[in-house]
């Protein structure tokens, strides 16, 4: 299966550091320097109002917050993948993000998953695979 045509978002102000780190192959969180709340993309900490963040390399482990196997194709990149699974992963550090769920399923709520950085053209994307599933 090929993931090299998946759409990858452009960074915005809040997510600039996240995508810069990811494009360098690292999954990073931004931890509020004042209260410790973990974020992925942030300008102001919603918990304490802090605006200084410390980049921290994520372990890459997480659980599936939710997932759905999609049977309809709305974008050519997914034409050969359907049915494919997309979901929201909760990193062990706490933040959640949308991500493709790849490799053997099934992908159930609460399932442990591990990050895998995919190359998509000159960008990178983080996908997740069931923890322990063979590549």
Would you state the structure tokens that stand for residue 123, as one six-digit string? Answer: 């960008």
Window 9-28: residues binding another protein (CB under 8 A): 9-12, 14-15, 18
Please select the residue that binds another protein; options are 38, 53, 60, 129, rule is CB under 8 A: 38
The C-alpha atoms of residue 27 and residue 19 are separated, in whole angstroms, by 9
| Residue 78 DSSP symbol | G
Contact flag: residue 110 with another protein (CB under 8 A): yes
Contact flag: residue 114 with another protein (CB under 8 A): no
Nearest to 82 by CA among 67, 71, 92: 71
Please select the residue that binds another protein; options are 17, 23, 34, 41, rule is CB under 8 A: 41
Contact flag: residue 109 with another protein (CB under 8 A): yes
Please select the residue that binds another protein; options are 21, 81, 113, 115, rule is CB under 8 A: 81
Bond preceding residue 74 cis, omega within 30 of 0: no
Would you state the structure tokens that stand for residue 122, as one six-digit string? Answer: 């000159």
Taking residue 128's Cβ as centre, other Cβ atoms within 10 Å add up to: 28
Binding site for another protein (CB under 8 A): 6-12, 14-15, 18, 37-41, 46, 65-72, 74-75, 78, 81, 83-84, 86-88, 90, 94-101, 108-110, 125
């Amino acid at each position: 299966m090929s993931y090299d045509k998946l759409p990858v978002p452009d960074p915005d102000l809040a997510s600039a550091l996240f995508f810069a780190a990811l494009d360098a192959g690292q999954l990073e969180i931004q931890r509020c320097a004042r209260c410790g709340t973990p974020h992925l993309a942030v300008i102001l900490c919603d918990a304490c109002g802090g605006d200084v963040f410390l980049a921290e390399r994520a372990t890459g482990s997480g659980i599936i917050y939710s997932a759905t196997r999609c049977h309809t194709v709305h974008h050519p990149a997914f034409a050969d993948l359907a049915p494919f699974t997309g979901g929201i992963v909760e990193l062990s550090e706490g933040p959640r993000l949308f991500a493709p769920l790849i490799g053997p399923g099934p992908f159930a709520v609460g399932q442990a998953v591990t990050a895998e950085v995919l190359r998509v053209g000159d960008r990178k994307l983080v996908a997740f695979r069931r923890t322990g599933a063979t590549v």
